[in-house]
Amino acid sequence: MDRSNRDEYYEYGHELNDMDKKSKEYNSIQVDDSYEEMTPGENVETKLGWFNRLVASTAETKGIDPITDEEKNDTSMLNAASMWFTANMVLPAFSIGCLGPMLYDLNFGVSVLVVVFFSILGLASVSFFSVFGAELGLRQMVLSRYLVGNLCARAFAIINTVACVGWGIVNTVSAAQLLNLVNKPHNMPLWAGCVVIVGSTVLITFFGYNVIHAYQKYSWIPNFAVFFVIIARLKLSGKFSNGPWGGGPTTAGDVLSYGVSVYGFAAGWTTYAADYTVYMPKNTNKFKIFSWVSAGLAFPLFFCLILGSACGRAAKNDAYWSDLYNSSAGGGLVYAVLVPNSVHGFGQFCCVILAMSTVANNVPNMYTVALSVQSIYEPLAKVPRVVWTLLGNIFTVAIACAAAYKFRTFMNYFMDSIGYYLAIYVAMALSEHFIYRRGKFSTYNPEDWNNWKKLPVGIAGCAGLICSCFGVAVGMDQSYWIGEAGRKIGQYGGDIGLEMGFGIAFVIYNIGRPLERKYFGR
């Protein structure tokens, strides 16, 4: 297959001030007039307007200000795990798994090894930063102000906003393509499929943290069942084979390139992680949080990616399956396994279920996009979170409807490039926590979350981000750009952009951070 064909989320308003229980004169409550005089830097909690009051009984209107100990009421470890379990038991994960055999011509055994190693590498950072949410009550992009510096964190918030919408577009188009294949000749138009997926996402993300966790706790069940149907049909088809074991620099290059895709998908939640544990009590066992989140990530990643690899290997032995994959990516391969010469009408029903699974993957994107926008600039935090969520979904559906017809391939390539920033972020954030804060949470003061005079400036972080981008460019291997270092690995090149980005970011940050601390004292 030609490499140029590559595919690819508190209750009502303010917490009311506790009435003096000793007083029964509730009709004479005094209002502190000084509240109105607070500056954005002192209090940028989302203020309630008529729109928020309309949904006050159910929707979370909390903005990016820290979650207080009194608000931390989520003690469920199952919530922490099921959030990510469901977000990865989805069609997009299956599609990433297909890339190993279909794009990089790896056999099943090598694909499995790549899936396991790079998935563990990616999910570790998601699990680690989930601990910070419970400990500090800070959203991930606000927490980043401590980890990579105030200025750099805002740059990452911009990138994260683009990434949330971008992944939402790619996932939505993939699901719309699968919906378009079923019920011939009365096929659902691609634009209508996009509207269905994004509309369903709005219904969940609009109401915030509690509803999101409730949805994610159970919506994996039908998806899991459909994947078992795929396993059964794959076995009965007799098309699967392990394929020949490769070797040498060309196979090494393909392994590295496929590893970038797997790592990017597994680690993609890193810049979202703390958002979904901020309501967990501060005294929650940190090892349990890490372990539960890791388990919630590992099983669906291994399961879906390996199943995608198996179906990809089978497609190498069947021209019709391969053609459907080339035209409609992972969704087309699902259709090929389930419908023609298979379980027919039931297979089409399964296709619809799996297409709708994309909602669970889009939910974290569309919840976090609002928090990312609010983290960019203080005035943006005055706009209620639900408004940014709705705007994020509007942008997603508008662009997805166009991308489904005109530039789907470009969007896939673009999102592959966005993924490199995860390694850069992890390199600098881990350096700050373990080297300069010595791994101690006591060195973080959540009350300084918006105090420009107390937060790290972020010069070292910005330098690390900029310099590492050059390293990524030299090491990457994509259809639209092959770096000088990347092209030297094997016949088709090998992608070492992640490794070079991580390494350069680590070095530059640890050169600049001591100087920043010396001259700015923070």
The reply to whether the predicted model has a pTM over 0.95 is no
Q: Residue 53: what pLDDT?
A: 53
361 is written with which tokens? 């993957």
User: Mind listing the pLDDT tens digit for each residue in 264-320?
Assistant: 999 989 999 999 999 999 999 999 999 999 999 999 999 999 999 999 999 999 999
User: Mind listing the pLDDT tens digit for each residue in 316-344?
Assistant: 999 999 999 988 888 899 999 998 877 77
Q: Residue 43: what pLDDT?
A: 47
Closest CA to 412 of 312, 320, 330, 306: 330
CATH number reported for the structural domain that contains residue 472 in this entry: 1.10.4160.10
For residues 490-502, give the mean pLDDT: 90
**Considering the chain, what percentage of its residues have pLDDT values greater than 90?**
54
Q: Is 38 exposed, middle or buried (0-12, 13-18, 19+ CB in 10 A)?
A: exposed
Q: Is residue 187 part of a domain?
A: yes
Q: How many domains does the chain have?
A: 1
> What does DSSP assign to residue 494?
-
Residue type, 424: I
Predicted confidence (pLDDT) at residue 45 exceeds the cutoff of 70: no
Q: Residue 30: what pLDDT?
A: 41
Q: Is residue 49 part of a domain?
A: no
Residue type, 151: L
Q: Residue 491: what pLDDT?
A: 84
Q: How confident is the model at residue 219 (pLDDT cuts 50, 70, 90)?
A: confident
* E-strand stretches of 268-394: none
Alpha-carbon span 522 to 516, nearest angstrom: 7
Q: Is residue 29 part of a domain?
A: no
Q: Is residue 145 part of a domain?
A: yes
Q: Is residue 23 part of a domain?
A: no
Q: In which element (H, E) is residue 356 found?
A: helix 344-356
Predicted confidence (pLDDT) at residue 459 exceeds the cutoff of 60: yes
Predicted confidence (pLDDT) at residue 85 exceeds the cutoff of 60: yes
Q: Is residue 39 part of a domain?
A: no
For residues 88-114, give the mean pLDDT: 93
224 phi and psi angles, rounded to 5 deg: -60, -40
For residues 387-414, give the mean pLDDT: 83
Long-range pairs for 36-43 at CB < 8 Å and ≥24 separation? 40/378, 40/379, 40/381, 40/382, 41/378, 41/450, 41/451, 41/452
**Mean pLDDT for the chain?**
85
Query: Does residue 240 contact residue 316 with C-beta atoms inside 8 Å?
Result: no
Widest CA span of the chain, in angstroms? 82
Question: CB-side exposure of 508: number of CA atoms within 13 Å?
Answer: 23
Residue type, 113: L
Q: How confident is the model at residue 416 (pLDDT cuts 50, 70, 90)?
A: low
For residues 63-83, give the mean pLDDT: 88
> What does DSSP assign to residue 184?
T
Query: Which domain range does residue 165 map to?
Result: 73-520
For residues 362-389, give the mean pLDDT: 89
Predicted confidence (pLDDT) at residue 48 exceeds the cutoff of 50: no
Predicted confidence (pLDDT) at residue 18 exceeds the cutoff of 60: no
Question: CB-side exposure of 506: number of CA atoms within 13 Å?
Answer: 14
Q: Is residue 93 part of a domain?
A: yes
**Residue 47: left (phi > 0), alpha (psi -120 to 50), or beta?**
beta
| Dihedral (CA of 348, 349, 350, 355) sign | positive
Alpha-carbon span 474 to 495, nearest angstrom: 9
Q: How confident is the model at residue 468 (pLDDT cuts 50, 70, 90)?
A: very high
Q: Residue 58: what pLDDT?
A: 53
Predicted confidence (pLDDT) at residue 47 exceeds the cutoff of 50: no
Q: Is residue 132 part of a domain?
A: yes
- DSSP state string for 321-364: HHHHHHHHHHHHHHHHHHIIIIIHHHHHHHHHHHHHTHHHHHHH
Q: How confident is the model at residue 60 (pLDDT cuts 50, 70, 90)?
A: low
Predicted confidence (pLDDT) at residue 27 exceeds the cutoff of 80: no
Q: Residue 206: what pLDDT?
A: 72
For residues 171-196, give the mean pLDDT: 88
Q: How far is CA 128 from CA 141, 267, 272, in A?
A: 15, 11, 12
